[in-house]
Amino acid sequence: MERNALLDRFYSLLDDLERQVGGKQRLKDCDGYMDWPDRGVYFFFASDEHRGDGDHLRLTRVGTHAVSTGSGTTLWNRLRTHRGALSGTYEDGGNHRGSVFRERVGEALVERHGLHDEYPEWGEGSSAGRDRRLAELELERRVSDYIRELPFLWVDVDDEPGPGSDRAYIERNAIALASNYGRSRSIPGATGGSATIARASGSGARGCGTSTTSTNPTTRPSSIGWPRPSRKRNPRSSPGLTSTELVRR
């Protein structure tokens, strides 16, 4: 089966998933009291970009969590890190050093608005002191504003943590199928490389990974189940960064 047909099938499966969970959610509407599975894979979409077919929002990020043996991170823990803080010293900000997703969004904002001098240490190191985090708080807030508006889906895959988990398999192969790895698609306004889907596979992951593995999306490990419906919200879209600004090599 050709890649375009595989992509059509993949997006069809995402349509099925969306119906099962009662629609895409946005992190601005989510909290820990919702009926989240302990473990799963999440799929974020651009809020205002579509596939070539014009019918589907473009998938721009696939991620999971707990891919290290013994990890206790839950799906909501991971999504909450991407969402950022709701109160406290860093209210409406977050910690991009604990979320590659946040780091990449911040990098795209820095590039778009020429903020290199204002945030020279963005993305450097695995931790930062209070003064550095306060200096970066305004950009962290802009990152939160963007991510909280993105529509997303998730699928319940409750297997044991580890690099050989079904979740890692789904993440790796979904990225391989939906990305443009190894293809010569240029990005207007970006420096070098081709458009790619961004990947975050845990708090320790760094960079924006892609996989050379190909997959047939009709084949899933037998343990994968559809998520249980949670509270349905009325999604609202918001213009923001383009996926090519956000997810690039």
| Number of domains, the chain | 1
Rounded to a whole number of angstroms, the CA Rg of the chain reads 17
Query: Which residues lie below 8 Å from residue 121, measured CB to CB, with a gap of 6+?
Result: 128, 132, 136
What value does the mean pLDDT take over residues 25-45?
96
**143, 85 contact by CB (below 8 A):** no
The model's confidence at residue 169, banded by pLDDT at 50, 70 and 90, is very high
Helices (H), 33-89: 75-83
Amino acid, res. 187: I
Q: Give the model's pLDDT for residue 195.
A: 29
Q: Give the model's pLDDT for residue 183.
A: 56
Q: Which residue has the higher pLDDT, 204 or 8?
A: 8
Q: Give the model's pLDDT for residue 247.
A: 37
* Whole-number percent of the chain with pLDDT over 70: 71
Model confidence over 185-237: pLDDT tens digits? 332 322 222 223 444 333 322 223 334 344 444 334 333 333 333 333 333 33
Q: Are strands 151-156 and 57-63 parallel, antiparallel or unpaired?
A: unpaired
- Residue 84 belongs to what domain range? 3-246
The model's confidence at residue 144, banded by pLDDT at 50, 70 and 90, is very high
- Mean of the per-residue pLDDT values of the chain: 78
